[in-house]
Chain A
Amino acid sequence: MDRRSFLSLGLGLGLVEMTTTSQVQAAQIPSQPQSRVAQSGFLPNVPLVTQNGEHVNFYDDMVRNKTILLNFFLITCKEGRCPVAMANLRKVQELLGDRMGKDVFFLSITLQPELDGPKALKDYADNLGALPGWTFLTGKAGDVETLRRGLGYVDVDPERDRDLSNHIGMARYGDDRLNRWGAVSLRSSASNIASTFQWLSK
């Protein structure tokens, strides 16, 4: 079974490498250390819709073999941190120059999928000046929630977790080919965010 099939079963990224690990048991002492594996519920492969109305599977179509930065947002969050975060990202895409849309992709997922449909996302993206390579995603509420939980964008306090105005504003960034993932604050500054892509894949 290939990696894609595993993911479509929703089993998470680690399983393919897990097979490798069970082979370790058979071979007594491996000649070389086994490669490190990533395990977590990272990147559920839920179906989503882009601002252009395209139907995509989150992992397969948006993340696989790419360097990405992802965050959650909502169009109605017009005060405080949200606009700062999105304005910083707008600057980052410019700082990235040629890499944007070729080597680095942004994924912004709405936390209000019922309100933020593809059309609304398209208007929002155009208004913001999003360049190619920056995709805005919505979907069924349950799928977005699965994604949010799987990515850990959850407050341990259930009451605070329900408060959308308090949602987690950090971005995950990473290189799927290396299973390498970090986080950066979108409030920090455009140059701070852009610098992470300078060394990420060295």
Chain B
Amino acid sequence: MNNYEKLILKTMDLHREITQAKLSRRDLLKMGMLSATTGMLLPIPGLSLRSAFAKGGNNSVSSSVSSSVTPGATVGCPVPGKDIISPPTRPWIEELPRLIEKQTVKDNDPNNISHGNGGGAPGPDPIGTLGGGDCKIHILHDHPELATATPYANLGHQGWGRGGQLGDFAPKKFYETRVKQFNHVWHRDLPAGTAGQAAWGFDSVVPGPMFRTRYGESHFNRIHNDLPEGNLGFGINQMTTHMHNLHTPSESDGNPLYPNYSGYYYDHHYPNVYAGVKQYGGIGNPDEALGTLWYHDHKLDFTSQNVYAGLAGMNSIYDAWDAYTGDGRYNSASNNYGKDMGDFGDETKGWRLPCGDNYEFDVGLVFHDRQFDPNGVDFFPLTCFDGAIGDKSTVNGKIQPFMPVKQRKYRFRMLNMGPSRTYQWFLNNGAPFIVISNDGNLLPAPVVTKNFKQAVAERFDIILDFSQYKPGTEIILVNRAEQVNGRGPTGKLLSPGFDTLKFIVTSDAFGTDESRIPAKLRPLPDLNQPIARSRQWKFERAGGEWVVNGQPFNRDVVSAEIPEGTAEHWTIINGGGSWLHPVHIHYEEHRYLSVNKAPPAPTEVGRKDVIRLDPNMQTEIYMRFRDYKGIYPMHCHNVVHEDHAMMVMWKIV
């Protein structure tokens, strides 16, 4: 064992002792055991943890503020740290959990998918009866008007069993997911301890499992809603799962209007084709590839509550170049995407992005802002129209976790799961991030930056190279954006900021790091298709309501009918009032023509699906609507705004 390993062991021992002694960050700072600048533990010989323990109690960073508030206080929108304060939790006690790798059903055999009440085996059309089975049948029963919402009157799958120009992408991979209530431990220091408290999750984990899917390999997911009947508290036991932002036919997109009830399932079919199937043939144009997706509940009026309860997860989609198995020469005309894709993890091929065996170095990081009441019970402000802001930052379901890392390059897929906070990320040692992808889509070239903003639902893929650090080095990911309510960051950069995730460099073996940071990545598709029409969408607060073009959401209204295969120019405007709205448009990605009349920032030149609409911002975007038909929403992804009517439906006809 070398000295660094000894140091790490010693630090870990200290972590353990501190856990047992229930010392807080503040106690540690007072005792000189923690560096205030780096957050690093400083082992001090001869220190009596027992005496420190005797001090007990008052051990939160924010504990100088009175904690006498009753749960929920007397205001509808409690300000974290003022009107409501979570119990103290010590940082860097919980280890970052890796997202669970989703597996297909046994033997990838569709016969092993359970049928549920009166359902049937997977098929291109809805299966079952009104008494059970496929929930599309229930939807049509409750809402017969939806039968005409797609060209396929019974909500059958547009990309499966239809043929013609759209092809027939019968699923090659079969998944089954059960959504349940279970007990989750956000942090062992919370009063619920290691028993945890109720949360909702896909496959009973928060966040849900990581799907790894591939272009040219259509997949099927039967999602069973096993949430409790008659649930009490925030959330509703009805759900509809949106895959943000795959090229998904509308019937599988997870539309807010297509929820299912507890006890039933919903069948999602994902053709896993690039946009432009009709235009390019085959599986479309590889320049339109996506990479980092996430899925989440989208139930009308209840999205914020259900996602907050835990209903979200990630899905990474790969192709030959972004699966590290291609020949390394990107040529979108060569049509060799899906071919010869062996096992993932070969860092000597394709763009050679960090991956490793079993995706060890291709890591999903889900950032979820949370609030607990003074008794440590999960809190959601059901009475707030503005947003839900918390005083605890979690990563992959844990408050302020640490992650041991090896001395090599990692690809981190960062997701802001919301509900309402916008982050501005820094590394505490001043090192830069290498941003390779925004909203899941690889940029034409990596961008090196020392900080970046990330609004709700935005994804950033970054590469961090730990080979330059000695074992024992600790590096902290810090959010420095001050935000006190749902309005958005105040603009003030906090110093110090919120320590969110700590990387601890180890000397553990990893073989050879064959990965590279390529100078060029996926090229951007051209914008040559003529614009058929311009539209303007204004997001604002009007008369105390969240509205788009002056109108609150109305399920009976389709705000735009857009012919399939056309391109449009949309103007997206923030109507003012100093609110930030992360606007998400389902289906195809947009490209910025301008942001506040200027060219987009280097990290925003690519294809995006979330517009971080800062106060008073105006953006011009280029949109295409290819291949599938049906209704899709556009909405604010501050999900509290979304649930308070900041959404419109549009339809590809």
Contacts and interface: CB of A to CB of B under 8 A. Distances in A.
Interface string A149-172: 111111111000000001111101
A105 to B, nearest CB: 19
Nearest to B182: A33
A29 B236 CA distance: 25
A153 B557 CA distance: 26
Nearest to B372: A39
A40 B157 CA distance: 42
B195 A25 contact: yes
A35 B376 CA distance: 15
Indicate the member of B76, B259, B384 with the most A CB atoms within 10 Å: B76
A36 B76 contact: no
- Chain A interface size, as a band, is 35 or more
A45 B382 CA distance: 17
A195 B300 CA distance: 11
A188 B192 contact: no
Contact of A150 (B74, B183, B551): B74
B163 interface: no
Contacts of B78: 40-41
A170 B545 contact: yes
Given A21-B191, A42-B382, A12 B70 contact: yes
B547 to A, nearest CB: 8
Interface in B214-245: 228, 230-236, 238
Given A166-B543, A168-B385, A168-B545, A178 B75 contact: no
A12 B232 contact: no
Interface string A163-202: 0001111101000011111111101110110011011001
Contact of A38 (B183, B194, B234, B384): B234
A22 B236 contact: no
B233 A179 contact: yes
Contacts of A188: 551-555, 645
Contacts of A28: 194-195
Nearest to A157: B577
A192 B235 CA distance: 20
By secondary structure, the A interface counts as: loop
B544 A166 contact: yes
Contacts of B385: 152-153, 168, 170, 183
B71 A39 contact: yes
A75 B259 CA distance: 38
A11 interface: yes
Interface in B362-407: 373, 375-386
Contacts of B382: 38, 40, 42, 181
Contacts of A18: 71, 373, 375, 377
Nearest to B76: A152
A24 B197 contact: yes
Contact of A152 (B77, B182, B232): B77
A19 B645 CA distance: 35
Interface in B274-321: 301-302, 309
A161 to B, nearest CB: 9
A14 B195 CA distance: 20
A97 interface: no
A44 interface: yes
A23 to B, nearest CB: 10
Contacts of A189: 554, 556-557
B301 A183 contact: yes
Contact of A192 (B71, B197, B554, B644): B554
Interface string B513-548: 000000000000000000000000000000111000
A14 B301 contact: no
A45 B80 CA distance: 24
A25 B189 CA distance: 11
Contacts of A29: 194-195
Given A24-B197, A30-B183, A41-B78, A184 B377 contact: no
A178 B230 contact: yes
Given A14-B373, A30-B183, A150 B75 contact: yes
A199 B76 contact: no
Interface of A: 10-15, 17-18, 21-22, 24-25, 27-30, 33-42, 44, 80-81, 146, 149-157, 166-170, 172, 177-185, 187-189, 191-192, 195-196, 198-199, 202
Q: 7 nearest interchain CB pairs? A: A152-B76, A168-B544, A185-B552, A36-B233, A152-B383, A182-B301, A188-B554
Given A33-B183, A38-B234, A188-B551, 11 more contacts: A24-B195, A33-B182, A40-B76, A157-B577, A170-B644, A180-B236, A183-B645, A184-B301, A185-B553, A185-B644, A192-B554
Interface of B: 70-78, 142-143, 181-183, 191-195, 197-198, 200, 228, 230-236, 238, 259, 261-262, 301-302, 309, 373, 375-386, 485, 487, 543-545, 551-557, 577, 643-645
17 contacts: A18-B71, A36-B181, A36-B378, A37-B378, A39-B373, A41-B383, A154-B75, A156-B77, A166-B544, A167-B543, A179-B233, A181-B234, A183-B644, A185-B554, A185-B645, A187-B545, A199-B259
